[in-house]
Structure 1
Amino acid sequence: MKSIKWMLIVATISILIAGCTDANEEDGKEAMGNNSPVTDDIEDAGTTDNSTTDSDSSTTDGNTDNSSAESLEDEQKQMAIDMLNDLVNDAKEGKVYRPDQGFIIGKTKRNDIVKAIGEPEEKIGGYDHYHGSMGNPSVAFKYDGKDVLEEARYFGTNVERQTNLGGITEENLIEQLGKPADSRRIESTGEKNIRYHLNDFELQFVIGKDGTPDHVNLKKWR
């Protein structure tokens, strides 16, 4: 009888131990299962952060590029306005803006101009034409019957024109010089002639189809 009792006790203990072991294994699995989604969340969060950073960086670069472009445009516009003001100040005294050799409308003779800058490359429609190069403007001069300078025509520069006549609009003219003496359409070319009265002289801005001056004429006021 004692042997049977001991056998029952041992069997009972074995069953209890086996049950505890199975319970521990299940707890371990549940713990591992609960930790797995946390790891996935961390990985997902890392991916999202990188994506956001790249997007923000791209946006910042775009804003920088736009700001640089606007700054360059503002600088070029200011250079064109400065050129306009210098041209107008010289015109009030009848001085040819470029080349800056002291040529005066109604005073300087053709021989003096030729000695200073040479013979013209072309003669077209009664004008001596000098072609621009390397930032130097194209100009043309017309003389009266006594070979005295009657009109100076300024075409501006071809290189970086936006800093010269190409950067000037009719609106800029009104802002800087006020209302013109008159304005008319040139039927033969479709251009617009905006004329300003400056002391004894007149300055004509011949506006092309692009809305900027094709050239500027300086002559005696009539």
Structure 2
Amino acid sequence: MGQKPRAYLSDSNAAKLSAISDEISNWKSSHRITATENQLLRHDLVLAVNRIANISGTYGHHRSILSGGALKDLKLSQSIFSLGNSEGHQVRLGKAEDLAQEITADLVYLDPPYKKRQYAANYHLLETVAVGDKPETHGVSGLRDWWPQYSDFCSKLKIHDALAAIVNGVEAPRIMMSYSEDGLISQQDMIESLSRFGEVKLHEFPHVRFRSNASALKRDLKEFVFEVVR
């Protein structure tokens, strides 16, 4: 028995997505667009797909029946840019642990994963749209090979070393990191871990939990911002 069709998108939207992605790739390979223009078009395509995906929060799996926004047509919307304050920005792509030594700033803000759920696995379809490739897929959910993007922040055993690599690597007198009461590491353990690098201040904020279904978990929780002053 073969694999059932995966219903992340309606048939018509899946066909549109494939056609648009292929055309962008053709334009890039024929030098009709630059690398930056390719990235911008794929950025817009990612946003368009996310608006009509048949999911309940992430792409770990799809709904069994097409419903809601998934019944709408895929439509691209043009990105609008502000011309103000457009000088001196830099964007880097890679693991924060590897890029940290390239960063010099007055303030560094970190927003790492805080659960064991790997982002790369749970947003695999958007990764494929962004990259523009046609990878082999595996399992019921049709995951691409996401292991090269594995995050150590999703492991209780590896998170402290990953955090140390970033904090020791960056040149910044102040570092702020957001985390959650729901995180793998408790508030006290995180304070102890960060205290290796400087004085730690804790800021707490009430937050409403995201729930994609009728979860029994409590609705309200605390979000933390840990501030490290060196």
Q: Pick 1 or 2: higher relative contact order, CA cutoff 8 A, min separation 6.
A: 2
TM range (shorter): under 0.3
Structure number with bigger Rg: 1
The structure carrying a bigger helix percent of its residues is: 1
Q: TM-score w.r.t. structure 1 length?
A: 0.21
Q: TM-score w.r.t. structure 2 length?
A: 0.20
